[in-house]
Amino acid sequence: MISSGKIDRIKHLTKELNRLNYLYYVQDVSEITDYDFDMLLKELEQLEKDTGYSEPDSPTQRVGGQVTKQFESTAHLFPMLSLSNVYSVEELADFFTRCEKAAEGDSEFICEPKYDGVAISLVYENGLLTRAVTRGDGQKGDVVTSNVKTIRSIPMRLMGSGYPQLFEMRGEIILPFASFEKMNQERLDNGDDPFANPRNAASGTLKLQDSSVVAARGLECMLYVCMSDEPVADTHAGMLEKARSWGFKINNYMRICRGVSEVEAYLNEWAEKKNTLPFAIDGTVIKINSIAIQDKMGFTAKSPRWAVAYKYKAEQALTKLLSVDFQVGRTGVVTPVANLEPVQLAGTTVKRATLHNADVINQLDIRVGDSVYVEKGGEIIPKIIAVEQSLRPADSVPFNYATYCPECRTLLQRNEGESAWMCPNDEGCPPQIKGKIEHFISRKAMNIDSLGEGKVELLYDKGLVRDVADLYSLRPESLIGLEKIFQDDAMGKTRVVRLQEKSVENIMKGIAASKETPFEKVLFALGIRHVGETLAAKIARNAGTMDALMQMSAEELVQIGDVGEVIARSIVDWSNNLSHMNLISRLKSAGLRFEAEKEELLSEKLNGLTFVISGTFSSPSRRNELKELVEKNGGKMASSVSAKTNYLLAGENMGPAKRQAAEKLGVKIIDEPEFLSMIG
């Protein structure tokens, strides 16, 4: 029997943590430290595990963990229409005329930024968030509730009172620039192509299968309308103030504008201010404020007549392409970078721009000496979008992409199905070697922070470190007194890195401490292409040891959640490389940990058995609880049904593909009660 005291504590912690979440993510107020918040959250997680009970708005759902292989489609309560676009004040004239006619005089408008993200509908029933749905075709969209719940500014239970029994809160899922830059850097570090702009990144993130990965991405949501059969307020502004009182994060950028002149002033103001925001916008939305006039004006088949989107033209600049450099990343990907005559663009001076890859250069027919148009993709990454052919020099010649690595002169190669050219000399190409070492010591990997700020390059240049295993052979006496002068070409300044006794002592302590780093972080630190931090942890838990991982076939690897064929092949190729085998042997001798910590098992009743879970269960967290029960009783989890699967644990609405595979292979299908009886 579950203790009533534990249930009361769960309810109290849920309410208190949601209140603190609201203060921090909506009101920007912090009542307690991050550590104290985490301790309360851990207490709640443990209580929920012990009792099997959780509130529907439990904040533990915000850390993610639910895996969705197929996104269910559902109808919207109200059609999600798009807005008509205009690109100049002159084009707005017809809209203003219609509004004044409906209002029988001057109209009152609401103006607010048009967020450059992914439209989302949040459905609330009796104050609880029950589902989140993408726009889709406007009539139906994909259910992405578990991913949206990771966005901490979105309330899972509403505050106050007066909200409709059933309504949709609509907004835009966005990725702030800071999160976008961090994500792209991680993708580059893992050998993946970066996202072109924050909107694409937000869209891709929202449809990820693992909500724990979504939780780490830093999505945000900007809300702008409440859709309900019950009247909420007389004006759009009033409706948003009501929504604010229910716990929604409503932006402070909107403004009530009385008449055309005030609207035009807002447009002119934000044409400049849009570059100061921490996220991307691509225009201004102009709406009639009066709900009664909105109802009177109605809709076309595609859009409301009482609202319009004024789109800002992407800022462009014309400048000259002076030269092209080729940069080599730690995974060997060679990226072309354009050197430009300095030009002002969106408030900054642009001197360099990405050219992405050879396909982009060929498509645009870019040549050195061309006059090129540059714009900021998503207001953040400068890129060349076109060539001004009329200004092309008479002696212009087509651009020849690099054939050999600019650093080690190895012949470049291009893998089938990939756009990037790569240097295959991963053991002899200096930027690849230094990049691998820098990745190895990074905070999220081995966390040897005492080796930062140019020290890796110093050790490499002095011949002391040629791979990560060399770090564990370093001796203090060979380090003291080493120095290197770094020239900062951009600023014309120099800086000196010199190893003195104290810094050497810190380096040796950091290297020694790194031997206690858990296996999943060591695996991430090795820098296997396409294996990021989250995926490394999953692989480490499933494989158990590095020896077992290096013996796994591609077919076995794809059974691990989120490991696709490309990633599996990358791991197998890495493991079969003799130099990598030698590297692991040396790192083992140095004392690094290549075995996952074994969790204390509840029993060994499922030893040797492999399970696949499909369908929905009694609560969003129940699926993860069942996975944990499998593993804590000695079993293994797989993501897809194969000949090695012993049981398919089925909930409601099980995926038809998994059922068919199980029936074809003779895999036994069981439900939750049958599974629980297996483990007693």
Give catalytic residue positions.
Answer: 114
Q: CA-CA distance, 22 to 14, in Å (whole number)?
A: 12
Residue 464, phi then psi, degrees to nearest 5 = -90, -25
Q: How many Å apart are CA 520 and CA 435, to the nearest integer? A: 20
The pair phi, psi for residue 478, each rounded to 5°, is: -85, -5
Residues in the chain: 680
Give the CA radius of gyration of the chain: 28
Among candidate residues 295, 149, 284, the one with its CA nearest the CA of residue 227: 295
How big is the CA angle at 320 (ends 314 and 323), to the nearest 5 degrees? 115
Residue 23 backbone zone (phi > 0: left; psi -120 to 50: alpha; other: beta): alpha
Closest CA to 517 of 537, 534, 501, 503: 537
Nearest alpha-carbon partner for 612 in 570, 665, 536, 551:
665
Structural element, H or E, at residue 502: helix 501-513
Question: Which residues, 6 or more positions from 560, have their beta carbon under 8 angstroms from its beta carbon?
Answer: 538, 539, 542, 638, 639
CA 470 to the chain's CA centroid = 34
540 membership: H or E segment, kind and range: helix 533-543
- Three-state DSSP class for 317? strand
Q: What is the dihedral of CA 378, 382, 388, 392, to 10 degrees?
A: -160
CA distance 133 to 130: 10
Do 487 and 495 touch, CB atoms closer than 8 A? no
User: In whole angstroms, what is the distance from residue 422 CA to residue 459 CA?
Assistant: 25
Q: Strands, E, within 304-435: which ranges? A: 307-311, 316-328, 333-345, 348-354, 371-377, 381-387, 421-422
> Do 533 and 562 form a contact (C-beta atoms < 8 A)?
no
Place of tokens 């399970």: 611
DSSP 633-670: TT-EE-SS--TT--EEEE-BT--HHHHHHHHHHTPEEE
